[in-house]
C-alpha cells in the first residue's frame, strides 16, 4: 500500500470538509438549513442522473440492451428518490419559508443549469431557457452544448434500428437540435418491437417509465410550489406555479404514448 493510499480517509475520499461546509445560510432562521440541504442534494442527484443518462445513451447506440435495462433501473430508482425529496421540503410551512425567503434575493431554482441539461438530455429543445444564463458563462455553454447533442430519444431510435426495426432514415439522421416530431414510421417500429415482446419491448417500457417518472416529478414540484407560495411570483422574478403548470402532461417521448392506442 502506497503512502498516498494510507493517508486516504473516509472524510478525504468523500471531500466531506467541502460538502459539509457548503451550507451557508443567510439568516438565523432554523429552517433555512433544510432548504439549502434539500436543494444541494437535488443537484448531486442531477449530476448522477446526467452521468447515468450519458452511459445509457452509449449502451443503446451500441445495441447493448441487457446492460441498458440495468442502467434504466438505476436511473428510475434515483428518480424515485428525487420525487420523494419533495416530501421533505413540504415539511416547511408557508410561514417558515417566508421567514427567510427574502434572503434568497435573485436566486431561483429556475437557474439550475443541471436541470436544464437533464431536460435536454431527455430530448426537450427550448433555447429560450438560455436567457436565464449570462452568455459566455459555463452554465450557458453547458446547456447550449446539451441542446445540440443527441438526446436519449435519438439514441433509443438508433437502438431500435440496430435491433432490426424499421426506423425511417430521416428520423435517424434528423437535426438533433430541433424538437422531436412524431412520426408514423417511428410508430411502426415501436409497434413491431412491442408485438415481438422481447428485449426491445422492455426497453420501450423503461422509456415510458422514465417519461412518466419525470412527469411525476414535475407534478410534485408544482404542487410543492403551490403549497408553499401559491401563485405568487417566484424568487428572482421567476414565474412560479403558473408557469410550472404549463409543463405538466408534456411527454418527452410522445411516440411511445401515441402507439398505445394502436396496440
Question: Which tens digit of pLDDT belongs to each residue from 97-122?
Answer: 888 877 774 556 667 899 999 999 99
Q: How far apart are CA 219 and CA 153, in angstroms?
A: 22
Quote the percentage of the chain above a pLDDT of 70.
Answer: 88
Q: Where are the domains of the chain?
A: 3-261
Q: For residue 5, is pLDDT > 80?
A: no
- Tell me the mean pLDDT in the region 149-166: 97
pTM: 0.88
Q: Please say whether the beta carbons of 149 and 120 come within 8 A.
A: yes
pLDDT at 109: 60
- Give the best-scoring range by mean pLDDT among 130-134, 227-231, 253-257: 253-257
At the second CATH level, the architecture of 3-261 is Up-down Bundle (1.20)
Q: What is the pLDDT of residues 25-37, one digit of tens each?
A: 999 999 899 999 9
Q: For residue 176, is pLDDT > 50?
A: yes
Among 256, 257, 210, which Cα is nearest to 53's? 210
pLDDT at 131: 85
Among 121, 133, 123, which Cα is nearest to 178's? 123
Pick the range with the lowest mean pLDDT from 73-87, 100-114, 130-144, 185-199.
100-114
Burial (CB count <10 Å: 0-12, 13-18, 19+), residue 212: middle
- Tell me the mean pLDDT in the region 197-222: 93
Q: For residue 1, is pLDDT > 50?
A: no
Amino acid at each position: 500500500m502506497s503512502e498516498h493510499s494510507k493517508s486516504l480517509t473516509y472524510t478525504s475520499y468523500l471531500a466531506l470538509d467541502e460538502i459539509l461546509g457548503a451550507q451557508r445560510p443567510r439568516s438565523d432562521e432554523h429552517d433555512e438549513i433544510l432548504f439549502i440541504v434539500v436543494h444541494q442534494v437535488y443537484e448531486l442527484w442531477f449530476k448522477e442522473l446526467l452521468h447515468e443518462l450519458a452511459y445509457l445513451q452509449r449502451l443503446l447506440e451500441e445495441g447493448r440492451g441487457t446492460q441498458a435495462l440495468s442502467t434504466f433501473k438505476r436511473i428510475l430508482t434515483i428518480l424515485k428518490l428525487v420525487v420523494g425529496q419533495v416530501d421533505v421540503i413540504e415539511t416547511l410551512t408557508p410561514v417558515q419559508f417566508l421567514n427567510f425567503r427574502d434572503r434568497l434575493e435573485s436566486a431561483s431554482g429556475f437557474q439550475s443549469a443541471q436541470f436544464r441539461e437533464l431536460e435536454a438530455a431527455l430530448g426537450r429543445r427550448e433555447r429560450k431557457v438560455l436567457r436565464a444564463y449570462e452568455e459566455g458563462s459555463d452554465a450557458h455553454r453547458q446547456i447550449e452544448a446539451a441542446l445540440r447533442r443527441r438526446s436519449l430519444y435519438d439514441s433509443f431510435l438508433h437502438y431500435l434500428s440496430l435491433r432490426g426495426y424499421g426506423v425511417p432514415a430521416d428520423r435517424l439522421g434528423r437535426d438533433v437540435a430541433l424538437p422531436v416530431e412524431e412520426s408514423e414510421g417511428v410508430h411502426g417500429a415501436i409497434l413491431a418491437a412491442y408485438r415481438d415482446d422481447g428485449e426491445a419491448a422492455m426497453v420501450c417500457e423503461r422509456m415510458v417509465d422514465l417519461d412518466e417518472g419525470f412527469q411525476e416529478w414535475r407534478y410534485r414540484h408544482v404542487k410543492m410550489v403551490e403549497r408553499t407560495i401559491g401563485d405568487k411570483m417566484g424568487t428572482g422574478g421567476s414565474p412560479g406555479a403558473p408557469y410550472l403548470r404549463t409543463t405538466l402532461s408534456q411527454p418527452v417521448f410522445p411516440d411511445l404514448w401515441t402507439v398505445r392506442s394502436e396496440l
